[in-house]
Amino acid sequence: MSNVQAIGITDQQQVCDCCGKINLNQTVVLRDEYGVTCFFGTVCAARALGFKVKNILDAKKQIRDAIVADRRAEREKNLDELIEYSDRFAHLLGWKYKPSDQWNVFSNNWLKHNGPQFLERAAEYPAKYPAEAVVLIAKMIALRIITDV
């Protein structure tokens, strides 16, 4: 396997898909570049990820650190996207301010409370709102939930 990423650790699967070892307490969920997932024991997973494995504890730590770093990077990327969409949305509606200037206020007030209502109204009266703004607000609501801001 090449270009694999560790996306989680689970106790739902006790067999290593790499070497066939059974009765593992937990396995690492790996995903390849095509989105195919498999379950590897800790040592096999660490090797597949290209880590130098000193011992099982060290392998576990490296895998956990990689998962945390990937999730943080993903969250930051989503947040950047969300802020960009919000500014574009405000521009389309002719607002006088940019959400990025007061991000927390916009996210925790307007987007959280008015965003879903805006989407409902836009579904009811599609001619009243720019189509791109409707697409953006749907994306913004979804991104706000996964970035958990």
Which residues are at the interface with Zn ion (CB under 5 A)? Answer: 16, 18-19, 21, 41, 44
Which one, 18 or 38, has the nearer CB to Zn ion?
18
Distances (CA, A) of 49 to 1, 18, 53: 9, 13, 10
Please state the closest distance from residue 65 (CB atom) to Zn ion, in A: 20
Which one, 20 or 94, has the nearer CB to Zn ion?
20
Which one, 24 or 149, has the nearer CB to Zn ion?
24
Amino acid letter, residue 59: A
Which one, 21 or 98, has the nearer CB to Zn ion?
21
Please state the closest distance from residue 78 (CB atom) to Zn ion, in A: 33
Instruction: Tell me phi and psi for residue 56, to 5 degrees.
Output: -65, -35
Distances (CA, A) of 69 to 28, 38, 54, 66, 73: 16, 20, 21, 5, 6
Please state the closest distance from residue 68 (CB atom) to Zn ion, in A: 23
With CA atoms as reference, report the closest residue to 18 among 35, 7, 4. Answer: 4
Please state the closest distance from residue 41 (CB atom) to Zn ion, in A: 4
Q: Which residue has the tokens 């880590």?
A: 51
Distance CA 40, CA 37 (A): 10
Please state the closest distance from residue 44 (CB atom) to Zn ion, in A: 3
Which one, 16 or 143, has the nearer CB to Zn ion?
16
Alpha-helical regions (H) of 25-55: 42-48
